[in-house]
Structure 1
Amino acid sequence: MSIDRLTPRTTPTATRSSYRVTALGGGHGLSASLAALRVIAAEHLTAVVTVADDGGSSGRLREDMDVLPPGDLRMALAALCDDTEWGRTWAAVMQHRFSSRDGVSGPLDNHAMGNLLIVALWELIGDHVEGLRWAGALLGARGQVLPMSRHPLTMSGLVHPPQGGEPVRVQSQAELARAGRVGRVSDVRIQPAEAEACAEAVSAIELSDWVVFGPGSWYTSVLPHLLLADLREALIGTEARRCVVMNLEAGSDGETDGMTPADHLQVLGHYAPGLRIDRFIADEACVKTADRPAFEEAARALGGQVSYHHIRRDDHPAVHDPLRLAIAFGEVFGS
């Protein structure tokens, strides 16, 4: 039977909250937010995912197949899987990476199964959004996953050497993610500059009660949504309230080395003048006492206030705890 005659598998409806939430980002940071938000937002949850990745399995598929990089989309889908046998199994399948036997270098090496599944659905169905809907139905994912654009994007930025000299423009998202170890990053751009945002993503932002940014790599996961004109205008103009989740280890991720929490907020204001952020969630132990006054002042400059919570895992302090973060979201959204 051809795929266009099939009806996507449905799963029992979870108890729904009254919040409609759109979370923006990519990679592990967005996955952390989604794992928490699915607890309180259920099927009123939309992930809008960056499509500028050009490294690893995603970069190879993007180059070979001329498709959107599927890796961050795959991770978002896996994060939305229920904590049931079905959900855990499919999340593991999506994240599984192939590895050839010893002594053999095969074409599938380091490709994630979920990346291949998503690209197969895109080829069969012919539409990125519809293909992701099918993938979500198969996984029993709570909510929906959307690309920020239907066009593959490329990131670039200037890297300023710490000892001075002429800055160098990096023309790759993968390289930009490591640039902070070389020098300070500025003038971050997305190409093509005129790329259109995914219309469904714009609608989700406009219809949300809350829009969530972060955590994640600040320049390559959080910032891209503010660089795309259509999304930036939607984020500035929406009646939704906006929340930023701060990283647990500010200034040590390879692209923002040496930056303080306040510096992170100033980046948002620089690239999106007029953007208002209502609330900031930060781990109580991860923002140093000495950094708090400047951080809270930067938050006020964006129109918001900081809430400190215990949101890290005790056994892995560099990782957000989904249930603790869900509680923090619930308290912030309800205040």
Structure 2
Amino acid sequence: MNYSISDLEQLSGIQSHTIRIWEQRYSALKPMRTDGNTRLYDDTQLVKLLNIVSLNQSGLKISKICSLSEQDVELLLDKELQTVSPQTKFDYYVTQLIKFGLCYDETSFEALLSSCIGKFGILETYKNIIYPILVRLGLMWRKDDICPAQEHFLSNIIRRKIYSAIDGLELNQKVPNKTWLLFLPEDEEHDVGLLFAQYILKASGHKVIYLGAKVPLGSVKRVIEDVNIHNVLFFMVKLRPLKTAQIYIDNLQMICKKINIHLAGNGQTINQITSSSNIRKFNSLEEFENNIKDTSK
């Protein structure tokens, strides 16, 4: 797969200008060139950049890193994974996990992710490691319909970890505080964020009816008619015309009536939607957790 320098910027977290400087001064990367002289990078170059970024985050100078052999870089990375400092640990793990994912290295990805969950817990791991990975890969706020193979590969492993965390929750012996209905619209399929919301809600003592991705409004209506739902949560991730999004929200509000609706997703769309007082929009996990506290009162 080929990447533009803007793709490298998104995946590595390093600005394009800095990448160019590293190329010119230290021969960090050797991009291909199109007929129009545009830089193109392959998977090998991307992985090399991710390794450079990881070691730089651990405190090594770029000039030193770029003088090392590939073998020496791998040895240093293995060493750093054992001794990474608290200040840089999350960024370091994010970069290395993205590298393993892009290489389809399931063993290394799963081992490192499991280690993070063991050290920090699923909540902190999601906030500081998994969520940044999803954002960099465009899983949560992407603009197109086609999902690269690496995204499917990574998201499926992450799903397994979240399912495992959900299964590990103790059964709530008390009457649930509230009942939440979780789903994605029928043109949405990236459900990792929704799945983690299920974990947070269940861990907070709420009953959750999880419908998953690509759910028609008719199915949402049926559940609301059959069950006493207190809160509805869904994501609008895809970039869509404002008019289309508004029609969807209006139809959902007619179905939900006085039920609290919680919405997150593509800020370019949801922040322009006209909504009634029963719709709460949130842009971070912290806001969502505050919403949960408010609705539990």
The TM-score bracket by the shorter chain reads 0.3 to 0.5
Higher helix share: 2
Higher relative contact order (CA 8 A, sep 6+): 1
Give TM-score scaled by structure 2 length. Answer: 0.37
